[in-house]
Chains A and B, each alone.
Chain A
Amino acid sequence: MQRIRLRYTKRGRLRFTSHRDFQRAFERALRRAEVPMAYSAGFTPHPKVSYANAAPTGTGSEAEYLEIALSDRRDPEALRTVLDASMPEGLDLVDAVEARTTEFTERLQASTWQLALDGVAPAAAEQAVRGFLAADSVEVQRQTKKGLRTFDARAAVASLDLGQESEPPGLDGTADAPCAILRLVVRHVTPAVRPDDVLSGLRVAADLAPPVPATVTRLAQGPLDEESGTVTDPFAPDRDAPSGAEALGTPSVASAPGGAA
């Protein structure tokens, strides 16, 4: 049995795809592309697909990960091309490696997010970010299935700053709509701190209230380099491992049907 790890995106309008929607679409694409899937045993066999850490519905992503198990060997790049062609545009398969290492999910330590705040002037955003970062903890609330929960949104944030791409207001203050773009690196902790929670934190800590919902995109997911504060490629160890070092045994990506992020 061969295992292949794939990176995929949720772009543009298809960022509104829920994780369940993605799962159905992906499993149908596997059938159309006639990928030789390994099936689970049991009364209703399912193709073996494991998903890691899915981004919430409505947020875009450049860095979602999954792993599939094949009954027959395939070249990862050739497989990626075929599957990509079989998926709707926007749900694009952009990278593939053969699984040659274990503990893949453990490598997904942090995410880099881009938060585009339409109608917010960069200067105002920068000030709010300073306020947020200066605090030791920022208590926020989120409605969960178990009710309203209160937790700290500050500790998990490795970095938060204003991106270069931000658009200031026009010189007369009215010409162009301003847009502040924030870049956020957040550690994957329990309970998870999501970009929404950080936005709530900006409101709590510094009164920042964007006039329209932020457009949120995950740019990267992987090991956190504490020195530089950057997120690195989680496929690197698989690429560096010698061929023939395939990870055997149990899948190293946790099966998470709910896909909570």
Chain B
Amino acid sequence: MTVESVFPQLEALLPHVQKPIQYVGGELNSTVKPWDETEVRWALMYPDAYEVGLPNQGVMILYEVLNEREGVLAERTYSVWPDLEKLMREHSVPQFTVDAHRPVGAFDVLGVSFSTELGYTNLLTALELSGIPLESEDRTEDHPIVMAGGHAAFNPEPIADYLDVAVIGDGEQAVLEVSEIIRAWKREGRPGGRDELLLRLAKTGGVYVPRFYDVEYLPDGRISRTVPNRSGVPWRVSKHTVMDLDEWPYPKQPLVPLAETVHERMSVEIFRGCTRGCRFCQAGMITRPVRERSITGIGEMVDKGLKNTGFEEVGLLSLSSADHSEIGDVAKGLADRYEEDKVGLSLPSTRVDAFNIDLANELTRNGRRSGLTFAPEGGSERIRKVINKMVSEEDLTRTVATAYGNGWRQVKLYFMCGLPTETDEDVLQIGDMAVNVIAKGREVAGSNDIRCTVSIGGFVPKPHTPFQWAPQLSAEATDARLGKLRDKIRGDKKYGRSIGFRYHDGKPGIVEGLLSRGDRRVGAVIREVYERGGRFDGWREYFSYNLWMESAAKALPAYGVDVDWYTTRERTYEEVLPWDHLDSGLDKDWLWEDWQDALDETEVEDCRWTPCYDCGVCPQMDTEIQIGPTGKKLLPLSVVNK
């Protein structure tokens, strides 16, 4: 049975919406496989606008990995803006893929990648537009398996009722394993229906099926336990880890959109994982261990990627790119290679202590020397010990002074407000730091024409981190603290004009906090928000704090809990956390010890260069740190003139 394109119906709506090009597909390097020649069909979704979703590396990688597999098809779908959503509802046009404009409801799997929790309402929009029942239990064999992945899937409980399955960790191998299970089940004639398929997936131990687990609560609202309700279903579900990045050189042919998107560059993930141990950082905790791509592997990906895309910029991505064991040779090798081609290099995440001026000079050799960005995260030495972001004020001042001395004119500094144990004084010291940076900068640059921008947002405690027990600072307290810092910076007669101040108010952080550490009961809030029109919560122009608070006030009292209970409440050692049955490899006792160390202002070293401190990941997941140096160099490519 073939599936028709809905493009003719959609086409009639496109003249009436903003930026119609985002809905038509046709991107360079996109793939349309014949429907009837495939057995397992995936619709991959990034639950945000096309301009944000298209460059997402996770979706791009899985799209290629799946389409390379014989008999498997993958297409992409993104959230439609409310103008098109309204028209689609009026004209009964279903949620569609941009590749072949096939209706999402016709696929075997709808795989949704959640980088943040703020895409949850968009998931519900997509389900309803697809004609898929919102609640997992109402779906039949005719509906796709709705799967969540991405970092937010490490606590999928708030959307557990709307998902069929969640997969945590690296997706490359996991999606292929799931595909083979679906293929086998379909070939056998779908024995046991949807339930049997979900059971087969759950029994692998690497696919979480929320409906096979019951959550039991204590009278005070806390969870007493999360327990399997089927035999053969594991008590805990493991994350997936790809060990050799050189074996997975994806994306090989990155998608090149016609529409303008947030990142227009050839991105190469130079390593995965981070063991710096910053206690607030969920990404660093859940992606362990560190696995580097080799310098030669990086060189090949950049070469092929540029030829396949025509991009003018290469982004070397990771959680802390300057920490690659051969970053100097990588940067120099690439800068040499593309000197003639006007290809720029960027290193999006750079630590102050890993920065060196030679590296920065290589990165800017073929392009513009615009600004440098660092993230000290905390204003005082004390709070940086609490969060284990060990950057001394001297390090920072020296690094920034070197940058100003070498021709940079603009430095951006990122901070968080509301960190555990934080006081007004910790945050006000950010102002002193900025003043020191400007004073030193004026001295070395011999000019007053330099700037420093302080950018600061509220801290949200995340699951699977040492701060998962921490109380979140209320929106009011966050705003008051930020107001004091703003007044201090603006009030500085001598340096204030050279310091920019950008901050995000505390309200979105509270909603993010509710969703991050929420449990299944929070699902009712999400549904309420969705039904009252909540969409695109990551966008300032759509986000409504009041809508979330009103919806929570309606949905939560039945359970005897409220928003504060989920956000500003400190948890104890004994409390069963909603995500305890999802195994990120981190030992919960180690996380607790690290939380206690944080309160004692005790730091932990990076285990890449110092002995193991037993976070639990390597033995639990049977993985190990994989870093260079390989000692190899990037050779210049011979220039062929056509």
A residues contacting B by CB (< 8 A) are: 13-14, 16-18, 20-22, 24-25, 27-32, 34, 36, 43-45, 57-58, 86, 88-90, 212-213
Q: Which of B12, B24, B308, B312 contacts A16 (CB 8 A)?
A: B24
Q: A18-B19, A20-B260, A24-B264 are in contact. List 19 more A-B contacts (CB 8 A).
A: A13-B7, A13-B11, A13-B25, A14-B258, A16-B21, A18-B21, A25-B258, A28-B310, A30-B310, A31-B310, A31-B311, A32-B308, A36-B641, A58-B14, A58-B20, A88-B258, A89-B26, A90-B26, A213-B15
Closest partner residue, chain A, to B14 (CB atom): A16
Nearest 3 Cβ contacts at the A-B interface: A28-B310, A31-B310, A32-B310
Contact of B15 (CB < 8 Å), options: A29, A34, A58: A58
Cβ–Cβ < 8 Å partners of A32 in chain B: 307-310
State which of A16, A27, A28, A29 has its C-beta within 8 Å of the C-beta of B20: A16
Residue of A nearest to B25 (CB): A13
Q: Tell me whether B28 is interfacial, beta carbon within 8 Å.
A: yes
Contacting pair B26 A14 (CB below 8 A): yes
Residue of A nearest to B10 (CB): A13
Question: A residues within 8 A CB of B264?
Answer: 24
List of A residues within 8 angstroms of B532 by Cβ: none
If the complex has contacts A34-B642, A58-B14, A88-B28, are A17 and B258 also in contact, measured as CB distance less than 8 A? yes
Q: Which of A17, A31, A57, A86 has the most chain B CB atoms inside 10 A of its CB?
A: A31
Q: Chain B interface mostly helix, strand, loop or mixed? A: loop
Tell me, yes or no, whether B259 is within 8 Å of chain A by CB.
yes
Q: Which of B15, B26, B256, B311 contacts A13 (CB 8 A)?
A: B26
CA distance A30 to B642 in the complex (A): 13
Residues of A within 8 A of B311 (CB): 28, 31
Q: Contact at A24–B260, with CB atoms within 8 Å? A: yes
| Nearest A residue to B23, CB-CB | A16
Question: A22 CA to B21 CA in the complex, in Å?
Answer: 11
Q: How far is the CA of A138 from the CA of B19 in the complex (A)?
A: 31
Docked Cα-Cα span, A24 to B311, in Å, equals 10
Q: How far apart are B176's CB and chain A's nearest CB, in angstroms?
A: 29
With contacts A14-B258, A58-B14, A58-B15 known, is A88 near B21, CB below 8 A?
A: no
What are 22 pairs between A and B in contact, CB < 8 Å?
A13-B7, A13-B24, A13-B26, A14-B24, A14-B26, A14-B258, A16-B20, A18-B21, A21-B260, A25-B256, A27-B310, A28-B309, A28-B311, A31-B311, A31-B312, A31-B341, A32-B309, A57-B20, A58-B14, A88-B258, A89-B26, A213-B12
- Which residue on A lies nearest to B11, using beta carbons? A13
Residues of A within 8 A of B342 (CB): 45
Does B27 have its Cβ within 8 Å of any Cβ on chain A?
A: yes
Tell me which of A13, A25, A213 has the highest count of chain B C-beta atoms within 10 A of its own C-beta: A13
Inter-chain contacts of B258 with A (CB < 8 A): 14, 17, 21-22, 24-25, 88
B30 to chain A: closest residue by CB: A88
The verdict on B493 contacting chain A, using a C-beta distance below 8 Å, is no
Between A and B, how many residue pairs show CB distances below 8 Å? 66
B368 within 8 A of A: yes
Give 1 or 0 for each of B302-329: 1 = CB within 8 Å of chain A CB. 0000011111100000000000000000
In the bound complex, CA of A13 to CA of B7 (Å)? 9
Residue of B nearest to A18 (CB): B21
Write out the residue numbers on chain B whose beta carbons fall within 8 Å of the beta carbon of A27: 310
Report the Cα distance A246→B174, complex, angstroms.
60
In Å, the complex CA distance between A65 and B260 comes to 22
Question: Using Cβ atoms and an 8 Å threshold, which residues of chain A touch B310?
Answer: 27-32, 86
Residues of A within 8 A of B641 (CB): 36
Q: CB-nearest residue of chain B relative to A30?
A: B310
B binding-site residues for A, Cβ under 8 Å: 7, 11-12, 14-16, 19-21, 23-28, 256, 258-260, 264, 307-312, 341-342, 368, 641-642
How far apart are B273's CB and chain A's nearest CB, in angstroms?
32
Q: Do A17 and B21 form a contact, CB below 8 Å, given A34-B642, A89-B26?
A: yes
A16, A34, A89, A90, most chain B CB atoms within 10 A: A16
**Cα distance, A213 to B13, chains bound together (Å):** 9
Given contacts A13-B24, A28-B311, A58-B20, contact A212 B12 (CB under 8 A): yes
In the assembly, what is the distance between CA of A14 and CA of B25, in Å?
9
Partner of A21, one of B12, B21, B25, B309: B21
Q: How far is the CA of A22 from the CA of B310 in the complex (A)?
A: 14
What is the CA–CA distance of A88 and B98 in the complex, to the nearest angstrom? 15
How many Å from the CB of B328 to the closest CB on chain A?
27
A171 CB to closest chain B CB, in angstroms?
25
Chain A residues with CB under 8 A of B26: 13-14, 88-90
**A57 vs B311: C-alpha distance in the bound complex, in angstroms?**
24
Residues of A within 8 A of B14 (CB): 16, 58
Q: Is the CB of A88 within 8 A of B309?
A: no
Q: Which residue of B lies closest to A28 (CB)?
A: B310
**Complex alpha-carbon distance, A36 and B639, angstroms:** 13
A58 and B18 alpha carbons, distance in the complex (Å): 11
A215 to B16, CA, bound (A): 13
Q: Of all chain B residues, which has the CB nearest A45?
A: B342
Query: Distance in Å from the Cβ of A123 to the closest Cβ of chain B?
Result: 24
When distances are taken between beta carbons in the complex, the residues of chain B under 8 Å from A18 are 19, 21
B12: chain A residues within 8 A (beta carbon):
212-213
Tell me which residues across on chain B come within 8 A of A20, comparing CB atoms: 260
Residue of A nearest to B16 (CB): A213
Provide the bound-state CA to CA distance between A14 and B308, in Å. 20
Q: How far apart sit A18 and B19, CA to CA, in the bound complex (Å)?
A: 8
State how many angstroms separate the Cβ of A36 from the closest Cβ of chain B: 8
Give min CB distance, B24 to chain A, whole Å: 4
- Closest-CB distance, B341 to chain A (whole angstroms): 8
Query: In the complex the two chains form, what is the Cα distance from A17 to B20 in whole Å?
Result: 8
Residue of A nearest to B22 (CB): A16
Whole-angstrom CA separation of A89 from B264 in the bound complex: 21
Closest chain A residue, CB of each to CB of B7: A13
The docked-state distance in angstroms from the alpha carbon of A90 to that of B28 is 12
Measured in the bound complex, the distance between the Cα atoms of B256 and A32 in whole Å is 12
Cβ distance A70 to chain B, nearest Cβ, rounded Å: 12
Residues of chain B within 8 A of A22, CB atoms compared = 258
How far apart are A58's CB and chain B's nearest CB, in angstroms? 5
A86 to B642, CA, bound (A): 15
A90 cross-chain contacts in B, Cβ below 8 A? 26
Bound Cα distance A32, B642 (Å): 12
In the bound assembly, the distance between CA atoms of A90 and B312 in angstroms comes to 24
Which A residues lie within 8 Å of B308 (CB)?
Answer: 32
Please give, as numbers and ranges, the residues of chain A lying within 8 Å of B341 by CB-CB distance.
31
A203 to B466, CA, bound (A): 67
A43: chain B residues within 8 A (beta carbon): 368
Across the interface, name the chain B residue whose C-beta is closest to A90.
B26
Residue of B nearest to A212 (CB): B12
Which residues of chain B come closer than 8 Å to A45, judged between CB atoms? 342
Q: Please name the residue on chain B nearest to A58 by beta carbon.
A: B15
Whether the pair B368, A44 counts as a contact (CB closer than 8 A) is yes
Task: Give the one of B7, B259, B309 with max A CB within 10 A.
Answer: B259
Give the residues in chain B near A88, CB-CB below 8 Å.
26-28, 258
- The distance in angstroms between the C-alpha atoms of A16 and B22, with both chains bound, is 9
When distances are taken between beta carbons in the complex, the residues of chain B under 8 Å from A28 are 28, 256, 309-311
Q: How far is the CA of A27 from the CA of B256 in the complex (A)?
A: 12
- Give the distance in Å from the alpha carbon of A16 to the alpha carbon of B20 in the complex: 6
The residues of B that contact A29 with a CB separation of less than 8 Å are 310
Pairwise interchain contact B259-A21, C-beta atoms closer than 8 A: yes
Q: How distant is B55 from chain A, measured CB to nearest CB, in Å?
A: 14
Instruction: Name A14's closest neighbour in chain B (CB-CB).
Output: B26
Q: Compute how far the CA of A17 lies from the CA of B259 in the bound complex, rounded to whole angstroms.
A: 7
Q: How far is the CA of A212 from the CA of B87 in the complex (A)?
A: 13
Tell me the nearest residue of chain A to B640, going by C-beta.
Answer: A34
A180 to chain B, nearest CB (A): 17
B23: which A residues are within 8 A, CB to CB? 16
